[in-house]
Structure 1
Amino acid sequence: MHYRLLEPNDNSILAEIIRENLKSHNLDIPGTVYFDDNLNHLSDFYLASPKRAYFIVLDDDNNIIGGIGLAELDFMDDTAELQKLYLTNAAKGHGLSYKLIELVEDTGINKGYKQMYLETHTNLKTAIHVYEKCGYKLIERPKEVVHSSMNRFYLKELS
């Protein structure tokens, strides 16, 4: 596995990977990123601020097989949100998620964040297992979360 920062040419491939994952877990519903117009232009969002980053994961042939991002969270001080950790089916089951979470947490620390927040859904059982194994603790739904079909919320102190 190797990775690099998201580039505009990656947008359509990444959007396809994300939508395929959501659909396969019956999350191609309103209130998820599946219907987010910005999904087709993620580089616009992640390249707009030095407090954000999105990493593309590449296989040995330089094909995009997934990604992970982080961005500032407006409603919690010194907190980044872990965003859009998705892999192709062929890339799953090899421990990549753990490496990507470590990468994004290290990036968050380097950007000055003290904790990492994430939202997920009970349909994503494997993701929940990975997050909990990485030390994320289940928290109550923050009152600031609106228009979201996500129903599991996690927080982790970064050190």
Structure 2
Amino acid sequence: MSTWQIREIKAEDNQQVKDLIRSVLVELGVPKVGTAYEDKALDDMTNTYRGEREAYFVVEEDSKIIGGAGIAPLKGLEDSVAELQKMYFLPEARGRGVGLEMMNKCLDFAKQNAFKKCYIETLPYMKSARKLYDKSGFAPIEKPIGNTGHYNCTVFLTKDL
């Protein structure tokens, strides 16, 4: 039985989530400019994901946030395309099925909110994340769609919902 649970973010989670995302990005050697590292959204994730058809989920274990992922309308294609956003896990969450369960939670949310596709941007060296995306049925596309502002991301994937 798992000792972790997935739930929606609460205001008291904001600092832990911000610190988690930044620490994982630093661990992976991700550029700080043109990526999620510099997003103003990290300062108040609860408020960022307050709108319609968007949510941010966290993985909590022993009162500690060990991962998270967001799903929201893709800017520029809001009606039909959801974007998987800011999906990061601490080392202790990896290899335990947490990512797959989180992915399913986000994709289910997107389907329930009438999105037709899901979009992800990532980096080529994020190999574990790319394995998860592949396992979840995402396929690469040639160029970015929508307007994420993450100009340093060079891998683009979509999945029909």
The answer, yes or no, to whether TM exceeds 0.5 is yes
Asked if structure 1 preserves the Cα contact closer than 8 Å seen for 2:75 and 2:146, the reply is: no
2:24 aligns to what?
21
1:133 aligns to what?
135
1:65 aligns to what?
66
1:77-132 deviations in whole A, cap 9, x for unaligned? 41100111111111111111111101100011111111100110012111011101
Asked if structure 2 preserves the Cα contact closer than 8 Å seen for 1:19 and 1:28, the reply is: no
For the pair 1:2 / 2:12, whether they are aligned, the reply is no
Asked if structure 1 preserves the Cα contact closer than 8 Å seen for 2:82 and 2:119, the reply is: yes
Q: Which moved more, 1:13-22 or 1:37-46?
A: 37-46
Distance 1:9 1:149 in 2: 30
Distance 2:54 2:40 in 1: 19
Computed over aligned residues only, the root mean square deviation of the Cα atoms, in angstroms, reads 1.4
What secondary structure does 2:137 align onto? coil
Distance 1:63 1:24 in 2: 19
Quick one: which amino acid aligns to residue 93 of structure 2? A
**1:147 Cα deviation from its structure 2 partner:** 5.1
Asked if structure 2 preserves the Cα contact closer than 8 Å seen for 1:58 and 1:66, the reply is: yes
How many residue pairs are counted as aligned between the two chains? Answer: 156
> Gaps spanning 5+ residues in structure 2: where?
none
For the pair 1:113 / 2:151, whether they are aligned, the reply is no
**1:75 Cα deviation from its structure 2 partner:** 2.6
Quick one: which amino acid aligns to residue 24 of structure 1? E
**1:58 Cα deviation from its structure 2 partner:** 0.9
Distance 2:97 2:88 in 1: 13
> Gaps spanning 5+ residues in structure 1: where?
none
Alignment of 1:68-147 (within 5 A): 68-76=69-77, 77-142=79-144, 144-145=146-147, 146=149
For the pair 1:11 / 2:9, whether they are aligned, the reply is no
Distance 1:91 1:119 in 2: 21
**1:144 Cα deviation from its structure 2 partner:** 4.6
Distance 2:129 2:145 in 1: 23
Q: Which runs of 4+ in 1 moved over 2 A?
A: 74-77, 142-147
TM (norm. structure 1) is: 0.92
TM (norm. structure 2) is: 0.91
Distance 2:38 2:90 in 1: 19
